[in-house]
Structure 1
Amino acid sequence: MSLLETLFGGTVIVVILHWLLGRLGLANYWRGVISGAVPTIAYAFYAVINGDGLDVIAIHVAIFLATATVLSLLASDKSNTGKRMHWVPKALVVFFGLLAVIDGTFVSISTQGVPPWVASMIMPRAKDHPVYSGFSGVTEHNDQAAKAVNEHLKMLSDEQQLGWEVEMIGLNTLKAGSATSNKLTMRLHDRQKQPMQNAVVTLNFFRPGYVQTLPPLQLQQNKPGEYDGSISIPDTGSWVVKLVIEADGKRIEREHDVSVTAS
Structure 2
Amino acid sequence: MQTMLLTLVGGAIAIVVVFLLLRLRGGDPKVGALAAAFPVVAGYTLWVALDWPGMDVYAMHLAVYFVTAYALSIIALQRGKGEVRFHWAPALIVAFFGVVISVNAVFLTLANGGLGPETTEWLLPEPDSGAEVRSFFPGTVARDYQEKEELYNRYLERVEKQRERGWQVTQGFTDTPDAGQREAFQVEVLSKEGEPIDGATVSGKFLRPANKKQDVTFELKQVGPGLYRSDLRLPEPGRWDLAMTIERSGAIHEVHARTRIDDGS
Specify the TM-score bucket, using the shorter chain as the normaliser.
0.3 to 0.5
* Largest Rg, 1 or 2: 2
**More relative contact order, 1 or 2 (CA 8 Å, 6+ apart):** 1
Q: TM-score when scaled to structure 1?
A: 0.42
